[in-house]
Amino acid sequence: MLTLLAAAALALPLAGHAAVDGEDGGPAPRGFQDAGAPETRPLPPRQEALRGGDDFGRPRGPHAAPPPWLSGAPGPVVPFLRGLELTETQEDKVFAILHAQAPYLREQHKAHEKAERALCALHGAAKYDDAAAAKLAQASAQAMANITLQHLRTEQKVLGVLTAEQRKQVEEAKARPGRPARP
């Protein structure tokens, strides 16, 4: 009993410093929240930008989901490599190709997203400028064209790393029913 009283006496001053209701700006510790109040945590900037929708209830952004390099999805980054046995040297070369294209693709995705957001802002704008809208639409389309061309270039580079037998396996996989006709 004396031990219990001593422990309580030592713990009492510490309890006054605890942020029970999130007074320090952070969420309250689990178990100390109001029963009806949901726990709120700020989202990372990328997720915050993709959360919710626009004024018309449509998802934000071109796809309303994180890009593949942020999703953490397992498996090959290049779909047509599924099922192929690559050597370590081939894996290194494919990695180098994909790694080299990442900054350019990111730049183009950002340009596309910026143009799309600006176009969305024109919906319901008090003053509509057709020339500005056309310029933004062109910028968005150009960024998407650059992304598509870069994907094609990358696929060709990756196909160049494969052996003749591996390229044959890729062609056979394309011919299978139910498979997309991509390289």
Q: Which among 165, 161, 164, 158 has a CA at the least distance from the CA of 182? A: 158
* Residue 130 included in any domain: yes
Beta bridge mates, 107: none
What is the tens place of the pLDDT at every residue in 94-135? Answer: 999 999 999 999 999 999 999 999 999 998 888 989 999 999
What is the spatial distance between Cα 130 and Cα 120, in angstroms, rounded to a whole number?
14
* Residue 54 included in any domain: no
* Residue 71 included in any domain: no
Over 60: is that where the pLDDT of 38 sits? no
Residue 169: which domain range? 87-174
* Residue 36 included in any domain: no
The whole-number pLDDT of residue 54 equals 46
* Residue 76 included in any domain: no
Which of 25-29, 116-120, 142-146, 173-177 is least confident? 25-29
* Residue 179 included in any domain: no
DSSP string, 88-143: HHHHHHHHHHHHHHHHHHHHHHHHHHHHHHHHHHHTT-SS--HHHHHHHHHHHHHH
* Residue 169 included in any domain: yes
pLDDT band at 175 (very low <50, low <70, confident <90, very high): confident
Number of domains in the chain: 1
